[in-house]
Amino acid sequence: MAYISVPEIQRTLPQRYRLVGLKCKKCGYLHFPARKVCKNCGAVEEFEEVKLSGRGKVYSYTVIEQGATVYEHTEEAAVGGAFSVALVELEEGVRVMGQITECDPYSVRVGMEVEAVLRRMYEQDIVRYSFKFRPIRFQGRAERP
Amino acid sequence: MMQAKNAVAVVGAGNSRFGDRIDANLSDLFSEAFVEALDSVDKGLDPREIGEFFIGSLSSSGEQIGLSASLLAEYVGKRGAPAMRVEAACASGGYALRAGIMSIIAGANDVVVVGGVEKMRDVSGPQARLWLGVSSDTRWERWHGLTFPGIFALQATRHMYEYGTTREQLAYIAVKNHSNGAENPKAHFRRKITVETVLNSPFVAYPLTLFDCCPTSDGAAVAILCRADIAKNFTDTPIYVSGFGAATDCVAAFDRESLTRFDSAVIASRQAYKMAGLEPKDIDLVELHDCFTISELVLTEDLGFCEKGEGGRFIEEGNTQIGGKVAVNPSGGLKAKGHPIGATGVGQVYEIFHQLRGDVEKRSRQVPGAEVGMAHIQGGFGVAATVHIFTRG
């Protein structure tokens, strides 16, 4: 049985709410989610916190259909319908899994530009909030046509 | 040190019917496979010669998680024998096989039983959806509502993006495996399907439809292994473990360098090829982990049967059919034979045992002149893999 405990969420709130990653002080490798040992150079607990921009591009995606969710997401899909989950490559180079929101799930494409937003997800003991990603609709750059 | 190549032989194998086994509990399923395995030993085997039991199981029914191996050993009349459960999610059977082989090479046992069993169909829908996906990353992937098919769907989307693979090519894999399964009396699904069946069935996780996915099944399988130098006491036609390998990878997909390559399969198969002194072109048949159609496609590349990115075309051209360059999943694979998690990896040995002896129950499913067979199985998203190469004695 898969279950994410309330204390585990508590331990990781800065990551789940604000996308706080850890940068290795020895080699500069950026980790999200946090680890105790650097994945790149093996340094132990020598990190500084870095708030990730939340901006990136869809590396790959899927659409989870309403009748095919994991148990705890049943109600979320019953209310909101099928939803897209994507692997997003952030500007900083790390890849992060997250739902794509505020668009038709079937309109998601590889390479689509997205930004992180904080959203309500599902309820199990407590309401579970998390970052999700939404398409950047208005690029806001003067040089673009 | 004892040489590992050809040090261990398979002298018997059994496989319960896979599927909806309303008639049987966990112990009954195991007993069915065990009795068939004992009966298959040509010159007979006294159960007193069995030294130890290695049982692959995820225990997904939750009924007997602790000490299931002890329960099963006693149930088949071997009270007192050492027995342990081996867990590596869907690769549990593969790792049980590895443990059994190791114990013989180490000199601790002359004869062992390697088994696998799972009872999955008794659990309710909500219960099943709590259990499924327990072998993917829970904290940062399942959290976002990513299902197990969803992870493989991410792989399919990326493979399509990088190499132009199509949904039709994936569908063809399901059609082939259903066609093989239709001829297998032990299979969960014994019905042929068409490409349209796959394309028109509902999406589970886009771009994968229901027919791109394997089922959950009840079932058990058993292989009887012994020291190669005593194998002829039991049969004139043993098959030998000529090479083996194993590897693990990051549990989380976001930690991977590539979504379209299973490093665990690359590493484990290269170890096995090296030990056996064989190459991909020497393999006549392979039973590999087709939990989803995209998995079979990627593994066909990663085990070395074609170049990376060529899988779709290689399969579409019929190279992986029985009678093609390499028969992939002649049993029907997880897709059609079924996937009782812990039993699957040992069920592959059952298939290869009969294919290499040339005595598959239906001639239509017999790979002509099969001399070398490979078994590949993986837990999770290619997280824990084993590869074993078998040759005819």
Nearest Cα to B198, choosing from B335, B331, B339, B327?
B335
Q: Which alpha helices (DSSP H) does chain B contain, by range? A: 26-39, 68-75, 92-105, 125-131, 148-163, 167-182, 195-200, 263-276, 293-302, 311-316, 333-336, 341-357
Q: What's the CATH code, domain B8-124+217-239?
A: 3.40.47.10
pLDDT tier at A135 (50, 70, 90 boundaries)? very high
Catalytic residue among B159, B289, B339, B388: B339
Residue B133 pLDDT greater than 80, yes or no: no
Among the partner-chain residues B139, B143, B254, the one whose CB lies closest to the CB of A87 is B254
Domain extent listing, chain B: 8-124+217-239, 137-214+241-392
**Per-residue model confidence as pLDDT tens digits over A31-41:** 999 999 999 99
The answer to whether A119 and A101 are in contact (CB under 8 A) is yes
When mean pLDDT is compared across A48-57, B57-66, B150-159, the lowest value belongs to B57-66
How far B349 CA sits from the closest chain A CA (Å)?
29
- Backbone φ and ψ of B208, nearest 5°: -95, 130
Amino acid at B155: Q
Distance CA B348, CA B299 (A): 16
pLDDT (average), residues A10-18? 95
Is-same-fold flag (B8-124+217-239; B137-214+241-392)? Answer: yes
Q: Do A97 and B131 touch (CB under 8 A)?
A: no
Is residue B221 a contact partner of residue B35, using CB atoms and an 8 Å limit?
no
Closest-approach residue (CA) in chain A for B138 = A2
**Residue B291 catalytic?**
no
Packing angle of the helix pair B341-357, B92-105 (nearest 10 deg): 60
pLDDT of residue B135: 81
The domains located in chain A, with CATH, are 54-135 (2.40.50)
Give the total residue count for chain A.
Answer: 145
Question: Using CB atoms, which residue from B138, B155, B206 is nearest to A4?
Answer: B138
B146, B209, B259: best to mutate for the A interface, most A CBs within 10 A: B146
**B274 in helix, strand or coil?**
helix
Q: Which CATH architecture has domain B137-214+241-392?
A: 3-Layer(aba) Sandwich (3.40)
Distance separating alpha carbons of residues B201 and B191, to the nearest angstrom? 15
**CA B90 – CA B135 distance, rounded (Å):** 9
Q: Do A95 and B145 touch (CB under 8 A)?
A: no
Report chain B residues whose CB lies below 8 A from the CB of A110: 157-158, 161
What is the band of A144 on the pLDDT scale with cuts at 50, 70, 90? very low
Per-residue pLDDT, averaged over B216-222, amounts to: 97
| CA distance from start to end of chain B | 23
The string of pLDDT tens digits covering residues B2-14 is: 689 999 999 999 9
Q: What is the pLDDT of residue B134?
A: 76
Q: Could you report the predicted ipTM of this complex, rounded to two decimals?
A: 0.94
The mean pLDDT of B342-365, rounded to a whole number, is: 96
Q: Residue B161: its chain A contacts at CB < 8 A?
A: 60, 110
Tokens linked to B79: 């009270």
Per-residue pLDDT of B38-49, as tens digits, reads: 999 999 999 999
